[in-house]
Structure 1
Amino acid sequence: MIGISGISGAGKSTLIKRLAKTLQSTPIFWDDYDEISKAPQSYVDWFYSSKDYNDWVYPELVDTLHKIKSGETIICPATRQELTPTKYILFDAPLGYCHQATGKYIDFLICLDTPLDIALARRLIRDYRNDPNPQKMIQELQEYLSKSRPLFILSPEEKTSDLIVDGSLALEEQEKQVLDALSLFEEPALPI
């Protein structure tokens, strides 16, 4: 199972969709499970109080990861789509190894390390592309500047991964770096 971690707007979903097509692999997206799981109500309050990654309680996601990694074809409880085991399972894992319940299923973790300005721009485009009310975007930016910006700065623990990819690179280059890293695991061992 290949996990891809990074902050909101890092480009995790975009890279996973690209890799899923190239590798003909099953993608699993953390966000699909938000509605059927329990997470802190305020990320800002969480950050300044417990900062315990296990406050995200996602039992259906854990069950999905367990079953698909065990080779079972399942119906995703969140999307109702069939998930089939493939050579590579691509997991959008924003919390990476820090989230113990899901992190234990990751065999190879990629951290998309994206500059804050690029991630912010991507989030705003994604979240407000079709919103006719600019006031919401202004409020989001004010919240970012006054309170939430530290949430988006990855700590050394959050960057713990098997591969760090610069999220500001073109998607093609990100994909190439991942495929090159995966190919190292495909090469047969040399005789001694």
Structure 2
Amino acid sequence: MQTQIPFFIGIGGGSGSGKSELARALMSAFPADQAVLVELDSYYHRKLAFPVEIQGNYDHPLALDEDLLVGHLQALKQGQTIEKPCYDFTVHDRSNRLETVQPKRFILIDGILLFALQRVAALVDLSVFVDTPADIRLARRLLRDVQERGRTLEDVLIQYLTTVRTMHEAYVEVFKTQADLLIIGTDPLEREVAAVLAAIE
């Protein structure tokens, strides 16, 4: 039975900044069965329900189903189990699979647009921003999307130039100075993890 109110750790930063790597490393650093990770990527709208006004722009806050995400986070905070959606990047749509997520002592929330979603940001107890130079972020994104998500180099670059860069400036970078903890994304991962753990303590 969940008797302790979960502590929410929000990890934001640009695409390719290393925030997801940090989140996974933190998961391993916590005691067994003490933490769970909720990725914002899982909450992209289905293609059929995608907001018309942003025309397929997946780097805009409206691309995410904030109502569902907030409802799930509030349920976890109250000690309830949720059925988290799963997103399939190979087809760019939410899959029909659901993942059962149990409430834990630490709830890690990882996402590019985390701090741009005000109702989500309001639930965060410790906000972490991973700050990484733009050229490194782009290089990491290119490698990931081509190798892991089956996209072409041209497709990735077109998306970066048309939406990713401008949305980063409007909805991501602006929150860097407002985070509780600023992490340098080029630091050794062990140092990044140690900084977050120290901030929690």
**TM class by smaller structure:** 0.7 to 0.9
Give the equivalent residue in structure 1 for 2:39.
Answer: 29
Corresponding position of 1:76: 84
- Equivalence for 2:153: 137
**Alpha-carbon separation, structure 1, partners of 2:100 and 2:150:** 35
Q: Which position in structure 1 is the counterpart of 2:66? A: 58
- 3-state SS of paired residue (1:90): strand
Partners of 1:33 and 1:60 within 8 A in 2? yes
Asked if the contact 1:68–1:84 (Cα under 8 Å) also holds between the matched residues in 2, the reply is yes
Larger-gyration structure (1/2): 1
Q: CA deviation at 1:59?
A: 2.1
Deviation at 1:83, TM superposition (A): 1.1
- Is the contact made by 1:6 and 1:94 (CA closer than 8 Å) also made in structure 2? yes
TM-score (norm 1): 0.77
Shift of 1:2: 0.5
How many residue pairs get aligned? The number is: 175
TM-score when scaled to structure 2? 0.74
**Which among 6, 12, 28 is matched to residue 19 of structure 2?**
12
User: 1:100-144 CA distances to partner (integer Å, 9 max, x unpaired)?
Assistant: 2322211111001111111111111110015787xx313433554
8 Å CA contact 1:54–1:101 kept in 2: the answer is no
- Stretches of 4+ moved more than 6 A in 1? none
- The alignment status of 1:95 with 2:113, answered yes or no, reads yes
* Partner residue of 1:125 out of 129, 134, 143: 143
Q: Kindly indicate whether the alpha-carbon contact (under 8 Å) linking 1:27 and 1:91 is maintained by their aligned counterparts in 2.
A: yes
In structure 1, stretches of 5+ residues that fail to align are 47-52, 184-192
Identical positions, percent? 31
- Give 3-state SS (helix, strand or coil) of 1:10's partner: coil
Match of residue 41, structure 1, among 38, 55, 62: 55
Partner of 2:168: 152
- Equivalent AA in structure 2 for residue 67 of structure 1: A
Cα contact 1:96–1:158 (8 A) shared by 2: no
Alignment-mate amino acid for residue 172 of structure 1? E
Computed over aligned residues only, the root mean square deviation of the Cα atoms, in angstroms, reads 2.8
Q: Does 1:112 align with 2:122?
A: no
2 CA distance for matches of 1:148 and 1:65? 26
> 1:81 is aligned with what amino acid?
E
Q: Name the counterpart of 2:9.
A: 2
Measured against aligned partners, the alpha-carbon deviations of 1:52-108 in whole angstroms (never above 9, x if no partner) come to: x45644322121111001111222244522211111100013223321232221111
Q: Provide closer, same or farther for how the CA distance between residues 132 and 180 of structure 1 changes in structure 2, counting only shifts above 3 A.
A: closer
Please give the secondary structure, in 2, of the residue aligned with 1:118: helix
Q: Specify the alignment match of 1:49 in structure 2.
A: none
